[in-house]
Amino acid sequence: MTPSRRAVIASSLALAACRGQAQTPPAPLTLPPLKRVAPFPVGAAISVGALEDPAYRALLLANFSQVTADWEMKMEQILQSDGTFSFAKADLIAEFARENGLRLHGHNLIWYIYSPEPFQRVAGDRSAFERAYANYILAVAGRYRGQAVGWDVVNEPVAEDGEGYRDCLWRQALGMNYVATALKYARQADPEAVLFLNDYNLESNPKKRATFLRLVEDLMKQGAPLGGLGTQTHLEADLAPGAIKAAIRDLAATGLKIHVSEFDVTLQGHPLTSRAAKLNGQARLAGEAAEALAALPSAQRYAFTTWGVRDKDSWLRHAPNAGDGDDSPLFFDDDGRPKAAAAAFERALGRS
- CA separation, residue 77 to residues 118, 195, 216, 230, 306 (Å): 14, 21, 28, 22, 22
Partners of residue 316 on adjacent β-strands: none
CA distances from 147 to 80, 95, 188, 248 (A): 24, 10, 15, 27
Beta bridge mates, 197: 154, 229
The one catalytic residue among 156, 203, 288, 291: 156
Residue 106 CB contacts under 8 Å (≥ 6 apart), including other chains: 68, 69, 73, 140, 141, 144, 148, 150, 151, 152, 193
- Amino acid letter, 330: L
Q: 150 φ, ψ to 5°?
A: -160, 165
Is residue 262 flagged as an active site residue?
yes
The reply to whether 156 belongs to the active site is yes
Q: Write down the catalytic residue from 72, 203, 262, 346.
A: 262
From the CB of residue 224, how many other CB atoms can be counted at a distance below 10 Å? Answer: 21
Strand blocks (E) in the chain: 42-46, 66-69, 103-111, 148-155, 194-199, 228-231, 234-236, 257-266, 301-306
Residue among 120, 114, 137, 129 nearest 175 (CA): 129
Is the Cβ–Cβ distance between 166 and 158 less than 8 Å? yes
- What is the spatial distance between Cα 66 and Cα 84, in angstroms, rounded to a whole number? 29
Which residues form the catalytic set? 156, 262
